Structure 1
């Protein structure tokens, strides 16, 4: 039999508690993206409407995983919330990561066995019920994958399938290989659209560190166009600004000859699977250009191929379109658990 775990739970409020001394090393070892940087979680907590807490799971003295969760209870007024000790007394603990719905709100050290992962999450759920009180028995786990289902605790569970995550594995030596792997109609459309962008001398594309190419306000304004079109959740400007400052955030941008931003996508780098986080573009009726979305997708895929990535996570929007671009659709679930 294996060693029995000694589970300890560290509760952190990123607004007030200092960053743990081990946090950056733990993120690097666990291959986390920029959304898990402590200062980024702090911005998310300050701009959230409900208390957002970070829970670090320890096996003895060693940190081995983390959970990000929001205390969802009745809200009597808008604005900033009180500290957790003075917060709502009844509600549900929602485990979800702010900033993206393409990644779950918990993770472990890569070498943990499935049995140990379940032990950690079961202990976490029990400790939180005791800490918050009997009126907080419910947990909601969002963006769980099929492989996560056996690890999640709770005697009573409701499992609801939500939009899948699109993931594009890289199996080609160059962009032409990717284009050639698609169905003929899609390949022809993409090549024609890419030629049109290349031939348009009034469009200036670029890709590189986001902090060198774009401002948070520019990204927020173009994201707003997509939010209105697809009823997407907004990202606060301070949160976008924090992301742009992160070393692991890249941008693909398009500007016209006056410097006006026509389109922008943000990419969160990762050793194996970078996440194409967000896209926004100026509508054609207001001076934008057609086909920037597909050109941007192509540039991100080309960058990932050149950087030797295993693939690109394309997020949750437009699953049928992304499937047509060669992505696999991974089922995800929201799980309500009690007991």
Structure 2
């Protein structure tokens, strides 16, 4: 990148750049990268959340999202005013909303998914911004193509949870997808779908995010978050302010399960739309002891497939967790890696 200009932005204080909408469209960044959502997330974060844009005369050429982690970072302490020079710390490079996607994009990413650009362009920019206290990075969601670029002496690279991606090419309906599955799974799904179709006590609908109640959605997501309480330094996904901003984005859909007699939300999933590869971002459901229903997750999976096929999407990213179950539902598991990169001086 010749004559590169660098904007290190804090969404809590910096206004949305004039180039942001065009950058998102070019990079294919989903709703969780909208500036309003980044702002809501940053205010709820445990760490400063710098968003760095690299530009040249032709406009933005790269963007990286990160969390600035120091010895002062605590789970139950909100972020201090900014990522300051002089503090000892490191950058956790991760997508702002979905751990199923890299936290960076470069126009000239090359064959390694942009890892070389990250190391050669982003690291010097952040050294200049953060000073000698910037001692390392944790780079998440590195694909297999980026392993050579991110490997090296003193670097620790480990495989993390695979990402489940369901490819939909060749399927004209949900039935076509089911027919591709193993007999036992197919029979189980058909029974689940018939049961829900015949049950008037639960209404299932897929709506624009703006039609969903963020408070009710937050309540059901809390049940799921308690099961996966394993990432202590990033914003929790069930903050109502964050969900309010996210659900207002035009490229968000919500699959809802509502108890018809009371109007109570039993389960909900968010879909971050994309012309080719939408992401199933959140999932939460009440437990049976709290009035929830069995097999809601499997029904949601089928509803997401039906929605994606009807809207001409080529695949759906179903993220991490429960990968063995997702594999039985036809998903391919894409290996992902995390790399700890010390900055030696």
TM-score by length of 2: 0.90
Which position in structure 2 is the counterpart of 1:273? 277
For 1:135 and 1:5, the matched residues in 2 are separated by: 27
1:76 Cα offset (Å) = 7.3
| Partner of residue 337 from structure 2, selected from 312, 333, 338 | 333
Q: Which residue of 1 aligns with 2:258?
A: 255
Decide whether the 8 Å contact of 1:166 with 1:315 is kept in 2. Answer: yes
Change (3 A) 1:61 1:159: same
Instruction: Report the CA distance shift for 1:86/1:127 in structure 2 as closer, same or farther (over 3 A).
Output: closer
Give yes or no for contact 2:203–2:257 (8 Å, CA) kept in 1: yes
Matches within 5 A, 1:157-168: 157-168=155-166
Equivalence map 1:92-171=2 (5 Å): 92-109=90-107, 112-114=109-111, 117=114, 118-119=116-117, 121-152=119-150, 156-171=154-169
1:229 aligned onto 2:227: yes
Moved over 6 A (4+): none
Structure 1 window deviating more from structure 2 (226-235 vs 122-131): it is: 226-235
- What CA distance in whole angstroms lies between the structure 1 residues aligned with 2:224 and 2:297? 12
Give the 3-state SS of the residue equivalent to 1:163 in structure 2. coil
Summarize the Cα distance change of 1:232–1:138 in structure 2 as closer, same or farther, 3 Å threshold.
closer
Inter-partner Cα distance in structure 2 for 1:84 and 1:194: 50
- What is the SS of the residue equivalent to 1:20? coil
Q: 1:62 to 1:152 in 2, by over 3 A?
A: farther
Deviations 1:154-184 (CA, angstroms, capped at 9, x unpaired): 7642101110110000021111111010000
Mean Cα deviation higher: 150-159 or 126-135:
150-159
Supply the distance in 1 between the matched residues of 2:298 and 2:90 (Cα, whole angstroms): 40
Cα RMSD of the aligned pairs, angstroms, is 2.1
Distance in 2 (CA, whole Å) between partners of 1:243 and 1:76 is: 25
| Inter-CA distance 305–18: structure 2 relative to 1 (3 Å threshold) | same
Contact 2:269 2:283 in 1 (8 A): yes
* Residue 316 of structure 1, CA deviation: 0.3
Alpha carbons of 1:119 and 1:223: their partners in 2 closer, same or farther (altered >3 Å)?
Answer: closer
Once the two structures are superposed, residues 169-205 of structure 1 have per-residue CA deviations (whole angstroms, 9 ceiling, x without a partner) of 0021111111010000000000011111111111111
Q: Does 1:8 align with 2:5?
A: yes
Distance 1:113 1:104 in 2: 15
Task: Point out where structure 1 has 5 or more consecutive residues left out of the alignment.
Answer: none
Residue 45 (structure 1) shift? 0.9
Closer/same/farther in 2, CA of residues 76 and 268 from structure 1, 3 Å limit: closer
1:229 and 1:184 map into 2 onto residues whose CA distance is 30
Q: How does 1:193-204 map to 2 (within 5 A)?
A: 193-204=192-203
Query: Normalised by the size of structure 1, how large is the TM-score?
Result: 0.92
Inter-partner Cα distance in structure 2 for 1:20 and 1:321: 41
Residue number in structure 2 paired with 1:84: 82
More divergent stretch after superposition (139-148 vs 197-206): 139-148
Please state how far the C-alpha of 1:88 moved relative to its aligned partner. Answer: 6.5
Match of 2:62 in 1: 65
Question: What is residue 185 of structure 1 aligned with on the other side?
Answer: 184
2:166–2:318 contact (8 Å) kept in structure 1: yes
